[in-house]
Chain A
């Protein structure tokens, strides 16, 4: 069970949240200029690291805000969270 410190609501249990993928993930454009492989990179290819990763989470059953979590995929430790408009938190090794 993760305890995720939502930047707005404080620490809450994992079932209140939804995972939303790695960040940064920038949609390429303009559409006419995007190659098939660049589009596949954006849609499907992921770092999927074993260790610390920055990802987007949604507090579905709380404030319903998206925010950023720095999480260790091997240990499930949560290193930091930040609001979506703030600069991306640094990953501390």
Chain B
């Protein structure tokens, strides 16, 4: 066992200077069976499931920066599967079930904490929406229950419950299996497990362009030289349009900054993940005690990973309407990830219009919770050239045929 209580004791004796690297840092080979562009959660999970489920391990994952340094390290770590339509509910619940076994599967503690995800309704209209939503969940076999105001108050005793509250508390929707997981550990766990199968995980390797053979894309030109493979898989979230342009096609994607921030750490004050339907603000408390807070998208397209002040102020204002007692907490850190928003808030897992390229994008604001499922169905598409049963609706052609899966409401974040 490379990692055990004994190994911990042994390495403590040598001042923790002799731990093995979790994955190799190989020099790229010139040929692979599959090249995955993007070393975030989705790219690394895809590599892992390609090797494990399909026996394809001559795979490279290439990443411009460092592993999990994009949206995988910039989200609010929430996992849940309370989606509305059957296609999304089945897919996201599959992803959540994979999360439930992930620490054991990867031998890496992803610190999944299923502390419950509570969506708060503030009006009669919200309660109607929540009832409809719960019905959909139960029809789709996903756990979800309607709470009345008293039950929500038990879960969230600090929520503003005064008669003068601008957003009165009327009820809620609870998914008990929802919660949070440690985002870095998800990327690192998949990277280590994929590496153990022989996958080359290559960091600091930016794609500069594509290599063509006639109409077909047969490789990538990178800062570490030419890499060739019959299948190139793009899992680059907010930068999908940039790589698509290099390959000569367009996507129905618009890139926005999605911000999040954490407060200074405090003692336990919040037992679940809470989301307010009126303000779009959602928050949870990390194991360190920091409140992790997020809200809506910035209001115009951006590739700047920092976010803008007016949106941050709006989220903070919403937070304090809900929890006035947090007004004296200071913000420690603020950041933004560049998310790939599509019109119906449903992902695209499909072949690209250009031969040789495969797409995993369109996750918008909800990519983290989907990582195990996204990797699993994308690996299936890459290995078999057919969509996985759970991802049959996640095509590119739905934008022409009109078969959109409009998850805008259940996607949780205001667009």
Contact = CB atoms under 8 A, between A and B. Distances in A.
B303 A1 contact: no
Interface residues of B, number: 24
Nearest to B314: A15
A6 to B, nearest CB: 15
Nearest to B310: A15
Contact of A2 (B241, B254, B308, B401): B308
A73 B385 CA distance: 35
B303 A50 contact: yes
A36 interface: yes
A36 B309 CA distance: 40
Interface string A36-64: 11011101111111100101000000000
A45 B251 contact: yes
Given A19-B299, A73-B302, 14 more contacts: A1-B309, A1-B310, A13-B310, A14-B308, A40-B400, A43-B343, A43-B399, A44-B343, A45-B252, A45-B399, A46-B254, A47-B245, A53-B301, A55-B300
A19 B301 contact: yes
A12 to B, nearest CB: 13
Contact of B245 (A13, A40, A49, A75): A49
Interface of A: 1-2, 13-15, 18-19, 36-37, 39-41, 43-50, 53, 55, 73-76
B300 A19 contact: yes
A81 B255 CA distance: 22
A73 B253 contact: no
Contacts of B308: 1-2, 14, 76
Quick one: which of B300, B302, B303, B401 has the most chain A CB within 10 A?
A: B300
B402 to A, nearest CB: 8
A23 B248 CA distance: 19
Contacts of B304: 73-76
